Amino acid sequence: MSHVFRFSGICALLMAGTCAAAEAPSCQQVRMGVANWTDVMATSAVAKVLLDELGYKTEQTFASEQIVLTAIKDKKLDLFLGYWAPLMTAAVEPMVAAKQIAVSAKPNLTGANATLAVPRYLFEQGLKTFADIPRFKEALGGKIHGIESGSATNQQIQAMIDKNQFGLGDFKLVESSEAGMLAQVRRAETRKTAIVFFGWTPHPMNVSMDMDYLTGSEDALGPDEGAATVWTVTQPDYAQRCPNVQKLLTQLTFTTAGESQMMVAILAGQQPDAVARQWLKDHPEDRRRWTDGVQNFNAKLAQQ
């Protein structure tokens, strides 16, 4: 990441674990933006359940990443756990530079990946790189399947098409929800037809489907063939105003395996909050790690 944010004064103490946790009454209301992606729903649910247990009143607003970031800038939302870098960096960095938002000092997830993918049978037929896609244009119907309209991911895919990068100039981007895109992939799998789609880790798709990620992206969707980290975004002064919440957010880090397990349950129809509560029950070590030194809103130590 090109930006590492160092808070001064009170937040420097907070990072060292010595910051007083007493907060202004306004901090009790936590307004959280949530993108309609299963991974962000899972991590946001964990944050919400923990905050609610700590005496906060958490409200979640589900919207596209662009709407969420704009709402944080406009002080209508407080935080967002779903900044995928570098996919969203072009949108985030100007807002950081203008001091409209702030990004956490460390990611909440490392080891992520996000790039174009194909079913394994298509990979074995020779569609292994971005440059191979045009050779399969007829079978693909000239389509690349992305996620929801307005997402940074779709913008980058469309940029490849607009620049005729990899010879994709005649292709069309199909925009859809995460669920809608995956339904198209499963339909193609059943029929053994060709499809190129946007895939990412963590996600149960990596277990439930036989799929492979394309290489040779030339950093079109980020360096190292789509390697990614996920960060937490807040209002620029949030760490100073609400240090106790910020401490929890700083300690709230996940693994790709853990997120994938929660996502399986959510995709199976369970409510994210219920999944989060079950995870905390089954993984007390995570609860202790996440809430270590965090206080409830009345400045009583969190129950461990």
pLDDT tens-place string over residues 216-264: 999 999 899 999 999 999 999 999 999 999 999 999 999 999 999 999 9
> Amino acid identity, residue 259?
E
DSSP class of 299: S
169 plus 181 within the same structural domain = yes
CB 44 within 8 A of CB 53: no
Does any domain span residue 80?
yes
Burial 107-128 (b: 16+ CB within 10 A, else e): bbbeebbbbbbbbebbbeeebb
Does any domain span residue 30?
yes
134 plus 281 within the same structural domain = no
Q: How far apart are CA 300 and CA 304, in angstroms?
A: 12
Q: How far apart are CA 68 and CA 76, in angstroms?
A: 9
pLDDT for residue 236:
97
CB 133 within 8 A of CB 215: no
pTM above 0.75, yes or no: yes
243 plus 96 within the same structural domain = yes
CB 259 within 8 A of CB 111: no
pLDDT for residue 207:
85
Does any domain span residue 296?
no
Identify the CATH number of the domain in which residue 241 sits. Answer: 3.40.190.10
121 plus 217 within the same structural domain = yes
Q: In the predicted model, is pLDDT for residue 135 greater than 50?
A: yes
Q: In the predicted model, is pLDDT for residue 289 greater than 50?
A: yes
218 plus 235 within the same structural domain = no
116 plus 264 within the same structural domain = no
The residues, any chain, with a CB within 8 Å of residue 267's CB and separated by 6 or more, are 38, 204
pLDDT digits (tens, 9 = 90+) for 29-46: 999 999 999 999 999 999
84 plus 122 within the same structural domain = no
The residues, any chain, with a CB within 8 Å of residue 70's CB and separated by 6 or more, are none
Place of tokens 């925009």: 175
Q: In the predicted model, is pLDDT for residue 19 greater than 70?
A: no
Does any domain span residue 206?
yes
Angle among Cα 86, 90, 95 to the nearest 5 degrees reads: 115
214 plus 242 within the same structural domain = no
47 plus 106 within the same structural domain = yes
127 plus 198 within the same structural domain = yes
SS3 233: strand
Burial tier of 219 (Cβ tally within 10 Å: 0-12, 13-18, 19+): exposed
Q: How far apart are CA 248 and CA 12, in angstroms?
A: 15
**What is the extent of the structural domain holding 163?**
112-226
Domain boundary among 226, 257, 276: 226
Look at the chain and report how many structural domains it folds into: 2
pLDDT digits (tens, 9 = 90+) for 274-283: 999 999 999 9
128 plus 149 within the same structural domain = yes
Domain boundary among 176, 206, 226: 226
Alpha helices by DSSP H, 103-177: 120-124, 137-140, 152-162
155 plus 234 within the same structural domain = no
Confidence of residue 24 (pLDDT cuts 50, 70, 90): confident
Does any domain span residue 106?
yes
Q: What is the mean pLDDT of residues 87-99?
A: 96
Domain boundary among 226, 254, 274: 226
Does any domain span residue 304?
no
Handedness of CA 156, 162, 165, 168 (dihedral sign): positive
